[in-house]
Amino acid sequence: MTTTGKIELMAPAGNFESMQAALDNGADSIYFGVEQLNMRARASINFTLDDLQEISDRCKAKNVRTYLTLNTIVYDHDLTIVKTLLQKAKDADITAVIAMDQAVIASARAIGMEVHISTQINITNIETARFYAMFADTMVLSRELSLRQVKKITEQIAKENICGPSGNLLEIEIFGHGALCMAVSGKCYMSLHSSNSSANRGACKQNCRKKYTVIDQETGFEMELDNEYIMSPKDLCTIDFLNEIVDAGVKVLKIEGRGRAPEYVAKVIKCYRDAIDSIEEGTYSKEKVITWMQELEKVYNRGFWSGYYLGQQLGEWSKGSGSHATQKKVYLGKGMHFFPKANIGEFKIEAYDIAVGDTILITGPTTGAQEMKVKEMFVNDEKGEKGTKGDSVTIPLEFRIRPSDKLYKIVENKVEA
């Protein structure tokens, strides 16, 4: 449950690097999966049971809530691990579990763990919300709803005083940014049929993101769908009407992306943090939106659209199979030492080159994702302007690095129109 009147910003955490990036850039909460029973079982590097306490401790230090995703289809043979995982999460003081299966919901409630209802449940009306309020304090509405429909549900919750088990008013959460699926709230069977790999068990092969040729079975006429990936929607982006989402009574804004890189988490969370704060301060403006959109375009995306929220014409398909990001990262090398008195980091350059004036990105499980411009550096213990493969480079830093942190250069990415 949120503790302030401001909308809660929830960040994806596929690993410790992304989690730290979320913490550093203003997330109010994070959501993460542990091993196989979550909707990104294969798409990202998942946490283990042994990581739960560290996740909890690091987030508590920043007053950030933690949500365990346990929202796949659950079979009988999964029930033992479900109960073990929930108990471990409870022992580590994880804030809540995001669930869709009634067995998971019941098991969590039995041990007194807060439950949030996953979008997989597909809640589209007030009566369904009322039913699940018997078990959960927060629920994600179906992705297919318009903002008008969302607002009607939140107004009815307030009018009828519909509360969750905590005794507080039921809170509504929606997706705010990131990948969308052509299937209804993520329920897709293409991957299962084609690869025996169930999307509903967190193992989607992303068939919909590929290019296809269509054949007329009657005439044999073959047609390539030129520049249209008709099963691959553009990414959702709501930052340009975030004020309307706040006005609709939404309490939690969820950013999708547990399979994406830490710099994606850092950039997206920072932009939405700024936007939420601007709304609260009364300084939200079209000019700021333009700046945020330019920043969001720098990291992985398939192009942007507003989803179903504004009731616009549907069918906003992506124009390519990969990212439309205006920037990309190029691997340079790894961290070697940090000298705390001088605030200097030493890196071993293993590929490409680095020069004064470059924008660099440093990532690591504790470092997160730190982006900065190189103002000066030493190359092999002598002041220099450029370092290449094999060189030892030291750079003044405003943060600590760790051995084996990865060093990248940020470069412009040519995207086909």
What digits encode the pLDDT tens for the residues 220-251?
A: 666 555 545 556 678 899 999 999 999 999 99
Q: Is the dihedral of CA 314, 319, 325, 329 positive or negative?
A: positive
Burial class (CB in 10 A: 0-12, 13-18, 19+), 382: exposed
Helix or strand or coil: residue 334?
Answer: strand
pTM: 0.84
Which of 24-38, 184-198, 255-269 holds the top average pLDDT?
255-269
pLDDT digits (tens, 9 = 90+) for 346-375: 999 998 899 999 999 999 999 999 999 999
Least confident stretch, 40-54, 81-95, 362-376, 379-393: 40-54
97-114: pLDDT as tens digits: 999 999 999 999 999 999
Q: Locate 44 and state its tokens.
A: 């990202």
Band of pLDDT at residue 300, cut at 50, 70 and 90: confident
The three state secondary structure string of 285-332 is: CHHHHHHHHHHHCCCCCCCEECCCCCCCCCCCEECCCCCCCCEEEEEE
* pLDDT above 70 coverage of the chain, percent: 81
- The crossing angle, in degrees rounded to 10, of helices 102-110 and 79-91 is 40
- 356 vs 197, which has greater pLDDT? 356
260-274: buried (b, 16+ CB within 10 Å) or exposed (e) per residue? Answer: bbbbbbbbbbbbbbb
pLDDT band of residue 301 (cuts 50, 70, 90) is confident
Q: What angle do CA 166, 170, 174 make, to 5 degrees?
A: 130
pLDDT at 396: 96
Contact 302, 323 (CB under 8 A): yes
- What is the C-alpha to C-alpha distance for residues 257 and 24, in angstroms, rounded to an integer? 17
> 329 or 43: which carries more pLDDT confidence?
329
For position 52, what pLDDT does the model report?
A: 97
Residue 416: the pLDDT is 53
* Residue 231 confidence (pLDDT): 61
d(CA 68, CA 249): 24
**CB of 23 within 8 A of CB of 368?**
yes
Cβ(345)–Cβ(387) under 8 Å? no
C-alpha distances (whole Å) from 42 to each of 263, 369, 411 are: 20, 22, 29
pLDDT per residue as tens digits for the range 135-145: 999 999 998 89
Token duo for residue 224: 């390539």
Please determine, for residue 190, whether its predicted confidence score (pLDDT) is greater than 70: no
Domains located in the chain, CATH noted = 8-181+233-305 (3.20.20.70), 188-224 (no CATH), 327-412 (2.40.30.10)
Window from 208-217, 339-348, 374-383, 387-396 with minimum mean pLDDT: 208-217
- Given the DSSP bridges, would you call strands 114-117 and 96-99 parallel, antiparallel or unpaired? parallel
Pair 318, 295: CB distance under 8 Å? no
**d(C-alpha 235, C-alpha 216), whole Å:** 30
Half-sphere exposure of 202 (CA within 13 A, CB side): 23
How much is the average pLDDT of 373-380? Answer: 95
pLDDT value for 369: 95
Let me know: does 322 contact 330? Beta carbons within 8 Å.
no
Three-state SS for 135? coil
Q: Which of 203-207, 273-277, 346-350, 384-388 has the lowest mean pLDDT?
A: 203-207
